[in-house]
Structure 1
Amino acid sequence: MRIVMIGSGYVGLVSGACFADFGHHVTCVDKSEAKINALEAGEVPIYEPGLEAIIQQNRSAGRLDFSKNLAPSVGEADVVFIAVGTPSRRGDGHADLSYVYAAAREIAAAVRGFTVVVTKSTVPVGTGDEIERIFRDEFPEKDISVVSNPEFLREGAAITDFKRPDRIVIGTEDTRAVEVMREVYRPLYLNEAPLYFCERRTSELIKYAANAFLAMKITFINEIADLSEKIGADVQKVAKGIGMDKRIGDKFLHAGPGYGGSCFPKDTLALVKTAQDFDSPVRLIETTVAINDNRKRAMGRKVIAACDGDVRGKKIAVLGLTFKPNTDDMRDAPSLTIIQALLDGGATVHAYDPEGMDAAKDMLGPVIYGNDPYEIAAGADAIVIVTEWDEFRALDLKRLKTIMKKPVIVDLRNIYPVNEVTKYGFGYFAVGRKPEKV
């Protein structure tokens, strides 16, 4: 099939490359001339394990190409996916759908013959109805079916998630569109990936509800972590104990500094705003948003407390900047708030991240960046582990003890056993565990 992907950001690029790897012919379109030029030159603008290789293979095979102009490729397409950004709108927190609607109008003007237009972007309930209204009122002569097909990709594991999904949600009641979408995803048949067909509005809500539930689960275990510290329990053991219950499951029960990234913060807020518009408030999600915002600031205070309540004039080494490992995404990363709190407290912050430092430089204040953990740890009064990159999981603690000014580790991801750290004479401050002072 001939597929066009409008938007070559994270979702569009990953989805387009994977569809091409299935054997479809895919054109990824983006208005950013710099981005398209880079992709045509073989440069991938985002870090996602395995993505660069898939793009190169399918470019060489002639199944994947890039363009700044959508009209030529859309005119020949069977399916056009809208995968543009839907950031939180300034001022009110609603999802900004201006890019979605602009893309829809351009697509409608270019289609020839029956075409399925699919919203891959995360959009509030009713967006598909509005796109259909635009087509009907402004382009009544065009034969277009509007479908919802939300993405459920985890940054850092997106290729696996796309090719071995838990489910593929497709919102449409148009029998012609059903058959087209079955053909789009037919290559996944051998993996027995379940195609779940439902109404378009239901599909749109599934995406928001899924992200909100996971965000709520993270926030729940973070509050249990705070309680664990107060009463002398170990949150990791609590999480394991409740996660063994199949009704609960062990995913997203890892206590930490709060959720970030491109999805959970904006999607939870957009769901809250949608619910308010329909006079059906989602109190649990409202509270989740508030708790998560407060938690990031609380983690800054936690680091300061571990440094005897004062970081003025002290050197703090921060390991990990991105909101999670295996990505270069800094959007709403907890590190942003934590580092700002340290800077406000008068600390000198040195930081290292395997992939996120270029993006971080545009988002953070006077931070000094290093080339590895040991460079930034030299002479430090404390190390703070903010992102659980694999290379931080087996640090040479004996070496660190000799090069640091003070032996303090604040592990906001709980990646070390307590006794492994304290046997080298470190003060160890984790999340949801009793602090071990020097």
Structure 2
Amino acid sequence: MSCCSDSAPSSAMTAWNSTIPPTSASGPVVRALRRALSDWGGDGTVYVGYSGGLDSTVLLHGAHALWPERVVAIHVNHGLQQAASAFDEHCRQQCERLGVVLRVHAANVPETGNTEAAARAERYGWFGQVVSKHDVLWLAHHRDDQVETLMLRLMQGRGFYGMPRSRLLLAGAASGLLQRPLLDLPRTMLRAYAADADLEWVEDPSNAELDKDRNWLRHRLLPELRERTSDLDQSLLDALQQQRYLELGLLQALGGEPHRVSVASLPEDRKAAVQALRVWLSSRSQLLPRTAALEDFVAQLGAPSDRQPLLTLGGGNSLRRYGGYVHLVRALPELESHYPLALPGQLTLPHGELRVLGATDGFHPDGPVRVEFVGAHPGLRIRCRGKHHAVRALLQAARVPPWQRNDYPLLLDDRGPLAVPGIAHRDHGGAAGRLFDAGWHQHAQLR
């Protein structure tokens, strides 16, 4: 086993042994990975978040050894320290030796403000773009990480929240599942696997900086507490589990919709409403706002209906109030300016499904039919049921949320709008009525 220096990573030019050592073949790491894959049940790509450190190295090695044709490593260079480019090079070398495809993202993180939160938002936003709904992303958080997170949250007065074992990634309809297969294992088990497999990894020099709260917890406070209370970690995790039982009851009371919660279901007490909304959001999102920002948002929920309170979560995601609900609004995937469509037919767009059914011989469009979006046609009107209607007014009357209107699809031919799917169809032959049916279903994660 070799580990690089604290100042910068380095690698000996030797190939990785890509097989699991016999002594680890039935050990806790391998069992955890097999269980995670079984729980997921998919057949797509297994993406592994790979920083080059011990934890992600163990995860990548084990996943590749078990399913070599399905694993892709992904690495984010936040550019926040001098050793970042050396970490990149280490990851590239190790993946080349192992025969693993590596995707690297150079993050654009501002050097001022809350850089940690900005880096997190950038990281998870990119994860959501890469990992499709057929895939899974594995991150190497383990039990020690979870204990540190719990203690850190208590120190910061942020509530007793831990890391969920799995959840959907945030960035849109194309995003897949995030899992943490090693969450029940202490770091000592990962280190034992690494020694057994003779793995190489890098140490992030910033992990030794005691001016950072997490590092101080890891190196100073927690070792002393563990000497005094031998079962400290398990006691904290037991308390977390009790908290999760309470949260489960709260989530059931709030309702089961994945993308919105009724304002009326929130507690009347403002502080209780803030905590209820935080619990609901933490079960669905990686991006939790600061308490003060959430308090300000909750204070606006009683504002007149013509106002639209907004809380930005990062990565293009937000909380919005509309129609008596708080909506979790996902970042929208990038759209082309137009898409061709044959009638009748079906078109899968990045943010939903468009279906056109029932076109008859009496329907003859003027030229090719294409799909475009409302935002590209300000002031557009459609003749429907004997009258001309503004498309935006039709969307408003149909209670399409304001943030969805610009990206709502339109069917057009050379004469103009054929249909606002699911809402209005152009009259044909001078008579009201329609000769085909167009429907639109937006992906639930983006509503």
TM-score range (shorter-chain normalised) is under 0.3
TM-score by length of 1: 0.27
TM-score by length of 2: 0.27
By percentage of residues, which structure has more helix?
Answer: 1
Higher RCO by CA contacts (8 Å cutoff, separation 6 or greater): 2
By percentage of residues, which structure has more strand?
Answer: 2
